[in-house]
């Protein structure tokens, strides 16, 4: 598993000439980092008398943020696995007509899976961004910049995952699947952009000197 490796070793493998892990896994990791920062703001708010009014809210957000962090963490490895399956399909024999047909089907199948993983990352980013907005608005104000970094990373994760969906869609012939998924990506990107802008407005307001 990629996520059990030390951070600096993960970075070394990323930088290396091996094509995986690549941008897809990094997008999922950025999502995990974003969710973890939202959890941190919850944890820095929970149990403090000063924020008595938001204890239940913060506890509920923490549960959701930790669930999303676990899902993002799994997607770091799932993206690399999906990428490796595409590579395996490409390396199938192509000497006879039946082999060529089998190989083409395997490549298509694997490429579709490789679009679904970053699409899942995008959806989780939207869910996590809603939590980041809430902790920015109602969490410990000393941690408002952490809520901001959370939102920024979730948006970058969503945009980065979108590039990975699109590059995989561009090699698929199934125009119905491609059209449907392209629309979904468009819509998720618009939502993420709107939400990160909202988050940044909340944060700018909170950071203004009083």
Of 85, 103, 104, 166, the one binding a second copy (CB under 8 A) is 166
Q: Which long-range contacts (CB under 8 A, 24 or more apart) does 137-142 make?
A: 137/202, 138/45, 138/54, 138/57, 138/58, 139/41, 139/42, 139/44, 139/45, 139/51, 139/54, 139/58, 140/41, 140/44, 140/45, 140/48, 140/51, 141/206, 142/44
CB closer to a second copy out of 51 and 102: 51
Binding span for a second copy by CB under 8 A among 44-52, 94-102, 107-115, 184-192: 44-52
- Asked whether 89 and 106 are in contact (CB, 8 A), the reply is yes
CB closer to a second copy out of 92 and 200: 200
Binding span for a second copy by CB under 8 A among 49-57, 88-96, 127-135, 153-161: 153-161
Of 89, 160, 195, 202, the one binding a second copy (CB under 8 A) is 160
Q: Which residues contact 54 (CB under 8 A, 6 or more apart)?
A: 45, 138, 139
CB closer to a second copy out of 49 and 96: 49
Binding span for a second copy by CB under 8 A among 6-14, 84-92, 97-105, 106-114: 6-14
Of 155, 185, 195, 202, the one binding a second copy (CB under 8 A) is 155
CB closer to a second copy out of 119 and 203: 203
The yes or no reply on residue 32 touching a second copy (CB under 8 A) is yes
- Asked whether 68 and 131 are in contact (CB, 8 A), the reply is yes
Rounded alpha-carbon distances, angstroms, from residue 51 to 31, 37, 54, 130, 173: 27, 18, 6, 20, 54
The yes or no reply on residue 136 touching a second copy (CB under 8 A) is no
The yes or no reply on residue 40 touching a second copy (CB under 8 A) is yes
């Amino acid at each position: 598993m990629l996520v059990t490796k030390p951070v600096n070793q993960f970075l070394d493998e990323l930088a290396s000439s091996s094509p995986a892990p690549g941008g897809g896994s990094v997008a999922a990791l950025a999502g995990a980092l974003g969710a973890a920062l939202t959890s941190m703001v919850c944890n820095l708010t929970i149990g403090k008398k000063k924020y008595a009014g938001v204890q239940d809210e913060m506890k509920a957000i923490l549960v959701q943020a930790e669930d999303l962090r676990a899902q993002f963490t799994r997607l770091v490895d799932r993206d690399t696995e999906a990428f490796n399956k595409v590579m395996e399909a490409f390396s199938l024999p192509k000497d006879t007509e039946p082999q060529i047909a089998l190989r083409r089907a395997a490549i298509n199948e694997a490429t579709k899976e490789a679009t679904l993983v970053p699409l899942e990352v995008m959806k989780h980013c939207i869910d996590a961004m809603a939590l980041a907005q809430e902790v920015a608005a109602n969490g410990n104000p000393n941690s408002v910049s952490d809520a901001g970094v959370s939102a920024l990373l979730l948006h970058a994760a969503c945009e980065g995952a979108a590039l990975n969906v699109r590059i995989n869609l561009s090699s698929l012939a199934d125009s119905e699947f491609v059209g449907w998924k392209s629309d979904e990506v468009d819509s998720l990107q618009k939502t993420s952009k709107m939400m990160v802008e909202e988050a940044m407005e909340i944060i700018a307001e909170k950071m203004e000197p009083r």
